[in-house]
Homo-oligomer: A and B are copies of this chain.
Amino acid sequence: MNSVLVASNRGPVSFTLSEDGVLTMRRGGGGLVSGLADVAGEIDLLWVCAALSDGDRSAVRLAPGGRLDQAGYDTGALRMLDIPPAVFHRAYNAVANSTLWFVNHMLYNTPQVPHFDIRFRREWGSYRDYNAAFALALAEEAGPGARVLVQDYHLTLTPSMLRGERPDVRIAHFSHTPWAPPEYFSLLPEDVGAEVLSGILGADHAGFLTERWASAFMDCCEAVLGARVDRAARTVTHEGRTTRIGVHALGVDGDKLWARACEPDVESHMAALRERIGDAKLVVRIDRTELSKNIVRGLAAYREFLATHPEWHGRVVHLAFAYPSRHDLPEYREYTAAVQRSAQEIEDEYATEDWDPLILNVQDDYPRSLAAYRLADVLLVNPIRDGMNLVAKEGPVLSPRSALVLSREAGAAAELGRDALLVNPYDVSGTAEAIHQALIMPEKERIERGERLRAAATALPPTAWFAEQLAALTS
């Protein structure tokens, strides 16, 4: 029986199954995963996650009670749940990624979607089943009075379900996404919206990345549930229970990141990039190809910048890394195609024999990304809405003299806004002008701003962030 448990959809490892039946384990990526992995080793912690692939399922089925560590893998204490693929698919793709993600990032094309019909009701049932599977596993594994940290929009119902099974444990929920204002949250069917909110309110502590998202959550509890909200005390009381609301602005571990970025594989990518771009200034963006990341408008802004500032022709290169994401969803495949079309248009309009104005890379390559950060003169981070955005925090750590163009709709803007050049992500012209301003920012100013950005970005590294969650359940 464990005293600290973490639950998240994605775990720290994944498995692939080769054709001849050999299982290979790989350590995963993702902001949350790397953050938790840093601390998981340091305390007595059991991690509960879902099997995401056929390889994961094969590994789980060979492990007693889904405990991969007990099957001999070096994972730390880890229980992986073998949720039936059809249930998982409906819960993960249809509800979590196509509904809750879209609501909280305000991504819907409202005249057409969402469309909550009888099919959605089946999908919602699967989301309940998926959440219940986590609640059941946590109830089984938690020691008396254990602390349980439930992560993100995949698992909004688990807190109240677990509370029903195990009133003795202390539960935290953390949202890594933005939260929608009530007028947008109410796109959800009434009962579904209420279930999400009261699911999270099953926790003793509900955490968010910024004041803005915490505040929107409280607004929704008041508008949708009629819950009693005390904004000064940051509590929500509903059906006789009180949940504390916390803000924990996840940052980066600067020393660790810098050490990684000084390894030879990164240095060799730096040399290759420098060779390719010569002494041109470098505008860098690094994103998953996710609808919220606003890559198409970012490319349009760069194009308008080239149109309105011809003095930069031949003297600047935009390095855009747009890594694959969620290719199960048609909107994402179409978006990837739109990114590629936009890039081609810039090439067609501006490329010369001597000058490539844009380099678009769509293959994920971590050391190459670190190299790009280190060489950047300008880092462009323009999401239409983002829980935090760790790229905006990694950049200043790795490039002390790069200027940051940052969307005011990223959670990171709360901490970095004073020293970044803030933009409205829908304002292509404003973003174009910010790129220009960033490029001409005097050296002294970029270094001074960079120092303050770095300090803010590293203020709450993952270990401290995790410790805050735990402490919130102790007090």
- Whether the Cβ atoms of B292 and A111 lie closer than 8 Å is yes
Chain A 233-291 interface residues, beta-carbon cutoff 8 Å to B: 291
Whether A427 touches B107, Cβ cut-off 8 Å, given contacts A115-B297, A118-B308, A304-B118, is: no
Question: Chain B nearest CB: distance from A123 CB in Å?
Answer: 12
- What separation, in Å, do the CA atoms of A100 and B117 have in the docked complex? 30
Question: Chain B nearest CB: distance from A239 CB in Å?
Answer: 23
- Whether the Cβ atoms of A189 and B424 lie closer than 8 Å is yes
- What separation, in Å, do the CA atoms of A351 and B105 have in the docked complex? 41
Instruction: Specify which chain B residues have a CB less than 8 angstroms from the CB of A107 in the assembled complex.
Output: 110-111
- Whether the Cβ atoms of A116 and B183 lie closer than 8 Å is no
- What separation, in Å, do the CA atoms of A187 and B385 have in the docked complex? 11
- What separation, in Å, do the CA atoms of A216 and B182 have in the docked complex? 12
Whether A116 touches B335, Cβ cut-off 8 Å, given contacts A106-B110, A111-B384, is: no
Chain A 360-387 interface residues, beta-carbon cutoff 8 Å to B: 384
Instruction: Specify which chain B residues have a CB less than 8 angstroms from the CB of A109 in the assembled complex.
Output: 108-110
Closest chain B residue to A385, Cβ basis = B110
Instruction: Specify which chain B residues have a CB less than 8 angstroms from the CB of A297 in the assembled complex.
Output: 115
- Whether the Cβ atoms of A121 and B181 lie closer than 8 Å is no
Instruction: Specify which chain B residues have a CB less than 8 angstroms from the CB of A121 in the assembled complex.
Output: 429
Q: Is A5 an interface residue (CB 8 A)?
A: no
Instruction: Specify which chain B residues have a CB less than 8 angstroms from the CB of A329 in the assembled complex.
Output: none
Question: Chain B nearest CB: distance from A386 CB in Å?
Answer: 13
Number of contacting residues on A, CB 8 A?
A: 44
Instruction: Specify which chain B residues have a CB less than 8 angstroms from the CB of A184 in the assembled complex.
Output: 106, 181, 183-184
Contact residue among B106, B116, B183, B292 (Cβ-Cβ distance under 8 Å from A428) = B116
Chain A 207-246 interface residues, beta-carbon cutoff 8 Å to B: 216
Question: Chain B nearest CB: distance from A433 CB in Å?
Answer: 10
- Whether the Cβ atoms of B304 and A190 lie closer than 8 Å is no
Chain A 95-135 interface residues, beta-carbon cutoff 8 Å to B: 106-112, 114-118, 120-121
Question: Chain B nearest CB: distance from A456 CB in Å?
Answer: 23
For A116, A188, A294, which residue has the most chain B Cβ atoms within 10 angstroms?
A: A116
Q: Is A412 an interface residue (CB 8 A)?
A: no
Contact residue among B111, B120, B189, B429 (Cβ-Cβ distance under 8 Å from A117) = B429
- Whether the Cβ atoms of A426 and B116 lie closer than 8 Å is yes
Instruction: Specify which chain B residues have a CB less than 8 angstroms from the CB of A111 in the assembled complex.
Output: 107, 291-292, 294, 296, 331, 335, 384
- What separation, in Å, do the CA atoms of A106 and B109 have in the docked complex? 9
Whether A300 touches B117, Cβ cut-off 8 Å, given contacts A184-B183, A384-B110, is: yes
- Whether the Cβ atoms of A115 and B300 lie closer than 8 Å is yes
- Whether the Cβ atoms of B384 and A117 lie closer than 8 Å is no
Instruction: Specify which chain B residues have a CB less than 8 angstroms from the CB of A117 in the assembled complex.
Output: 300, 304, 428-429, 432
Q: Is A440 an interface residue (CB 8 A)?
A: no
For A187, A300, A427, A430, which residue has the most chain B Cβ atoms within 10 angstroms?
A: A427
Q: Is A16 an interface residue (CB 8 A)?
A: no
Instruction: Specify which chain B residues have a CB less than 8 angstroms from the CB of A112 in the assembled complex.
Output: 296, 338
- Whether the Cβ atoms of A116 and B427 lie closer than 8 Å is yes
Contact residue among B110, B186, B292, B426 (Cβ-Cβ distance under 8 Å from A424) = B186
For A109, A110, A182, A294, which residue has the most chain B Cβ atoms within 10 angstroms?
A: A110
- Whether the Cβ atoms of A430 and B307 lie closer than 8 Å is no
Instruction: Specify which chain B residues have a CB less than 8 angstroms from the CB of A429 in the assembled complex.
Output: 116-118, 120-121, 189
- Whether the Cβ atoms of A116 and B181 lie closer than 8 Å is no
Contact residue among B110, B181, B190, B331 (Cβ-Cβ distance under 8 Å from A108) = B110
Q: A111-B384, A116-B426 are in contact. List 16 more A-B contacts (CB 8 A).
A: A106-B184, A107-B110, A108-B109, A110-B384, A111-B292, A111-B335, A112-B296, A115-B297, A117-B429, A118-B307, A118-B429, A181-B184, A183-B183, A187-B426, A189-B424, A190-B430
Ranked nearest first, the 8 interchain pairs of A and B with the lowest CB-CB distance are: A109-B109, A117-B428, A111-B291, A189-B427, A181-B183, A116-B427, A187-B426, A114-B426
A to B CB contacts below 8 Å, 9 in the list: A110-B384, A111-B335, A116-B430, A117-B304, A118-B308, A189-B424, A189-B429, A190-B424, A190-B430
